[in-house]
Chains A and B, each alone.
Chain A
Amino acid sequence: MSPRLRGYALFAAVGLLVLVVAPLTLPAFRLDELAKYLCLAIAALGIGLAWGQGGMLTLGQGVFFGLGGYAMAMYLKLHDAGGDLPDFMTWSGVERLPALWKPFANPAVAVAAVVAVPVAAAVVLGALVFRQRVRGAYFAILTQALAAAFVILLVGRQGLTGGTNGLTNFYDFFGQDPEAESTQRTMYFVTATVLGALYLAARQLVRSRFGRLLVAVRDGEDRVRFLGYNPATVKTVTFAVSAGMAGIAGALFVPVVGIISPSLLGVVPSLELVVAVAVGGRYALAGAVLGAVVMNYAKTSFSEQWAGGWLYLEGALFILVMTLAPKGAVGLYEQARDALARRRPAPAPVPDRPKTEEVPA
């Protein structure tokens, strides 16, 4: 079987597992949890694209996740309120619907905003910082500060955003009760399908001319510039795509979990997503997805057993991965496979497979 064919077979196998086996065997409550992990995996996919392929370590992905999530939640809140003020505005002392909320009464606008707002924010930020060649550590720290500032802003404007409570208690998600088991199930399938589609799209992007340019920018930005390309554009576009993915993830998160709040968007959750990507393997898009699901699953199940220990485990795991296996689980898998292949009495070698090893940070 050619590697390419084997790849598709694997994709199909994973798809089968996620779309058929899991829903048949998992209890509703666990399926809902898995749906949450898949949402986070969508955001992780965006990080994989920006960081793994493009070398932009974005520590503020929570911002875009939040923008998408709030766009969706605002519509749901307005819909539930049915012309009145959303419940939290009443107890925050807001008397008239703020202008910012008005467009979100329209579901089409809200759904469009889920992608458009994060993308626009990323384009503005990206255009500002990348054009000035702010990169590497500077960029990482700026995005981190952005996440911190975003949370402060959200929390501080309680009448507009629900403050620390965030937005919760939705009754009607496009005609369904979001807490009903059937809706949860549907949402699971929707999330899984969206993740699959975005994964394939991202993969296509990486394999395209643009993708090659992106990797080139990652590995030698100045050289790419000398060749006549504009790295700022390449980076901004990629950053915007990853922001859009985070926005979609946030929007799906709202019906799946039933809440969006600033505590999901700050410095720590944003970092945790990056951690997950690193553990899964940042240079492969599948690694990002895998990492997000595994790490979040581990977090949930581990904190069920030993609450304080999770921090030790997460910290230790992370130190180990970064020192011993910077390419994450996928990297380990590839290493093992290559080692195995070497030991075997050399079957037909795969001559046209370029080495993917030489990837500096």
Chain B
Amino acid sequence: MRTPFLRPLAVAAVLPAALLTACGGESGDKAETGTGGGGNTIKVGILHSLSGTMAISEVTVKNSEQLAIDEINAKGGVLGKKLEPVVEDGASDWPTFAQKAQKLIKKDRVATVFGGWTSASRKAMLPVFERNKALLWYPVQYEGLESSPYIFYTGATTNQQIVPGLDYLKEKGKKRIYLVGSDYVFPRTANKIIKAYAKANGMQVVGEEYTPLGHTEYSTLVNKIGEQKPDAVFNTLNGDSNVAFFKQFKSAGFDAAKLPVMSVSIAEEEVKGIGVDNIKGQPVAWNYYQTTKGKANEDFVKAFQAKHQGAVTSDPMEAGYNAVHLWAAAAQKAGTTEVAAVKKAAAGLSLELPEGKVTIDGPTQHVYKTARIGVIQPDGLIKEVWASKEPIKPDPYLKSYPWAAGLS
């Protein structure tokens, strides 16, 4: 056989040439990192999944971040310059997040990046931001045990969401807890914390089950739960699995009165897809609800719904919105968008935001947040039934909780 296999390479030759032309205009940028570029605008990056499985959730956060940018620009911008968002798609794929972060930092020279949702995407971006000494604002509640000097965490860490959720169950006299979660980092870490908490507080974990992401068959699991007769279920399932779980849980004859399910990943946005009938009356733990009282939230909800009709606002959206405002305030205070100065100015910074007063904790770069337990209402919104007296100091490593010794 003497077929010239190399011949098709001619086609291959065309490609790098095309690549070269496509990228030709990009090599000239030699500005410093973190300055947001020169000129009359400051570039900021927004990096969420706009496609793929995570798009459902992340697009809403992107929208609220853009709202915050518009608000800031309407008031004259930061340091007299308008903010110019550079939006990138992480495509629900962690390496893509890392690569797009690199692009935003190195090519677009953004002043800061707002982005990420899953822990996996944050872990993938973390080395990029640390090596380049650039800044990421991460807006979602997460599993804690992290405190990167180049990330600000505006969502809750475990002691601002999981622990209050447990406190609430304890207060209600729930002793036997069943743990249900999707099989990934957040549920496993959360459940580790829950088990340590239960041990110290006279509660008993009677079951711990994980299902693959995207799992939709829950009859066996519901049967296992029924067998153990727990007082409450602590649910860290993710995404579509929640829909299947609650539908099958309900049709097996369970409801909120019979067996409460405390969820930490179900916000206003998710209730619609699950079906209010299947989940009404169930408790959730967050730091913000659309119904949270206060002028700042009324304005936020009104402004958001003016742009996105019929949309609901949820905790991660609010945390994303907060991140933009907090960064802008820090940059204003620092008088520059340079990363080290912004970090310094951000420590102790305090703003009145939709969830109430939010203060940045300097050492951990997390924020003080009020914990709120809510109950899902028949109209699909969530009503607050319990709140911490004041914003809780973030403690990502749970150092101030004796029972948590040895967890990290």
Note whether A and B contact each other (Cβ less than 8 A).
yes
Binding site for B on A (CB under 8 A): 3-4, 6-8, 10-11, 13-14, 17-18, 21-22, 25-30, 32-34, 36, 90-93, 152, 155-156, 158, 163-166, 168-170, 177, 179, 203, 206-207, 211-212, 257-259, 261, 263-264, 281, 284-287, 289-290, 293-294, 297, 300-301, 303-304, 307-308, 310-311, 329-330, 333-334, 352-354, 356
Residue of B nearest to A22 (CB): B16
CB–CB A257/B99 < 8 A: yes
Judged by a CB distance under 8 angstroms, whether B20 is at the interface is yes
Bound Cα distance A113, B384 (Å): 55
CB–CB A259/B19 < 8 A: no
Query: Of B3, B16, B123, which is within 8 A of A356 by CB?
Result: B3
Query: Of B8, B143, B213, which is within 8 A of A334 by CB?
Result: B8
Residue of B nearest to A152 (CB): B212
Bound Cα distance A21, B13 (Å): 12
Bound Cα distance A7, B11 (Å): 12
CB–CB B98/A258 < 8 A: yes
Contacts of B5 in A (CB 8 A): 7, 203, 206-207, 284-286
Query: Of B24, B51, B408, which is within 8 A of A308 by CB?
Result: B51
Contacts of A11 in B (CB 8 A): 6, 9
Query: Of A8, A170, A352, which is within 8 A of B6 by CB?
Result: A8
Interface stretch (choices B125-133, B276-284, B298-306)? B125-133
Query: Of B19, B50, B94, B128, which is within 8 A of A22 by CB?
Result: B19
Sorting the interface of chain B by its residue count into under 10, 10 to 19, 20 to 34 or 35 or more gives 35 or more
Contacts of B99 in A (CB 8 A): 32-33, 36, 257, 300
Contact A168/B123 with A259-B94, A303-B91 known, Cβ cut-off 8 Å? yes
CB–CB B22/A155 < 8 A: no
CB–CB B3/A21 < 8 A: no
Contacts of A259 in B (CB 8 A): 94-95, 98, 124
CB under 8 Å from chain A, chain B span 143-169: 143, 145
Contacts of B10 in A (CB 8 A): 10, 333
Judged by a CB distance under 8 angstroms, whether B231 is at the interface is no
Bound Cα distance A291, B188 (Å): 39
Contact A21/B88 with A155-B212, A353-B2 known, Cβ cut-off 8 Å? no
Contact A27/B26 with A90-B408, A156-B183, A293-B15 known, Cβ cut-off 8 Å? yes
Contacts of B210 in A (CB 8 A): 156
Contacts of B118 in A (CB 8 A): 164
Query: Of A7, A164, A300, which is within 8 A of B184 by CB?
Result: A164
Bound Cα distance A289, B29 (Å): 31
Contacts of B185 in A (CB 8 A): 91-92, 158, 163-165
CB–CB B127/A168 < 8 A: yes
Contact sample, A vs B, 25 pairs, CB 8 Å cutoff: A7-B5, A8-B6, A17-B13, A32-B102, A91-B143, A152-B212, A155-B183, A163-B188, A164-B120, A165-B119, A165-B120, A169-B123, A169-B126, A169-B127, A257-B95, A258-B95, A258-B98, A259-B124, A263-B95, A286-B7, A286-B12, A290-B15, A303-B51, A307-B51, A334-B8
CB–CB A165/B107 < 8 A: no
Residue of B nearest to A310 (CB): B51
CB–CB B188/A92 < 8 A: yes
Query: Of A14, A261, A354, which is within 8 A of B13 by CB?
Result: A14
Contacts of A25 in B (CB 8 A): 20, 23-24, 27
Q: Which of A6, A93, A310 has the most CB of B within 10 A?
A: A93
Residue of A nearest to B10 (CB): A10
CB–CB B1/A211 < 8 A: yes
CB–CB B408/A29 < 8 A: no
CB–CB A163/B50 < 8 A: no
Bound Cα distance A7, B118 (Å): 48
Q: Which of A17, A170, A211 has the most CB of B within 10 A?
A: A17
CB under 8 Å from chain A, chain B span 194-252: 210, 212-213
Bound Cα distance A52, B370 (Å): 60
CB–CB A311/B127 < 8 A: no
Query: Of B1, B8, B91, B98, which is within 8 A of A257 by CB?
Result: B98
Bound Cα distance A11, B124 (Å): 36
Residue of B nearest to A151 (CB): B212
* A206 CB to nearest chain B CB (Å): 7
Residue of A nearest to B21 (CB): A25
CB–CB B6/A7 < 8 A: yes
CB–CB A286/B8 < 8 A: yes
Binding site for A on B (CB under 8 A): 1-13, 15-17, 19-20, 22-24, 26-27, 29, 50-51, 55, 88-89, 91-95, 98-99, 102-103, 106-107, 118-120, 123-124, 126-128, 131, 143, 145, 183-185, 188-189, 192, 210, 212-213, 408
Contacts of A308 in B (CB 8 A): 50-51, 55
CB–CB B4/A26 < 8 A: no
Contact A13/B13 with A155-B213, A259-B98 known, Cβ cut-off 8 Å? yes
Residue of A nearest to B144 (CB): A91
Contact A307/B8 with A22-B19, A27-B26, A30-B23 known, Cβ cut-off 8 Å? no
Residue of B nearest to A178 (CB): B127
CB–CB B9/A14 < 8 A: yes
Bound Cα distance A341, B119 (Å): 57
Query: Of B3, B27, B128, which is within 8 A of A353 by CB?
Result: B3
The 8 closest A-B pairs by CB, nearest first: A7-B6, A307-B50, A330-B8, A164-B184, A307-B89, A286-B8, A3-B4, A284-B8
Bound Cα distance A55, B5 (Å): 18
Bound Cα distance A286, B3 (Å): 13
CB–CB A311/B22 < 8 A: no
CB–CB A354/B2 < 8 A: yes
Contact A6/B94 with A28-B106, A290-B15 known, Cβ cut-off 8 Å? no
Q: Which of A21, A27, A263 has the most CB of B within 10 A?
A: A263
CB–CB A297/B19 < 8 A: yes
Contacts of B8 in A (CB 8 A): 281, 284, 286-287, 290, 330, 333-334
Bound Cα distance A251, B124 (Å): 17
Contacts of B29 in A (CB 8 A): 27
Contacts of A163 in B (CB 8 A): 183-185, 188
Contact A263/B23 with A281-B8, A304-B89, A330-B11 known, Cβ cut-off 8 Å? no
Bound Cα distance A290, B10 (Å): 10
Contacts of B7 in A (CB 8 A): 3, 6-7, 10, 286, 334
Contacts of B119 in A (CB 8 A): 164-165
Extra contacts, 7 of them, besides A34-B19, A353-B2 (Cβ < 8 A), are A18-B16, A92-B189, A164-B120, A206-B5, A258-B95, A286-B8, A356-B3
* A355 CB to nearest chain B CB (Å): 9
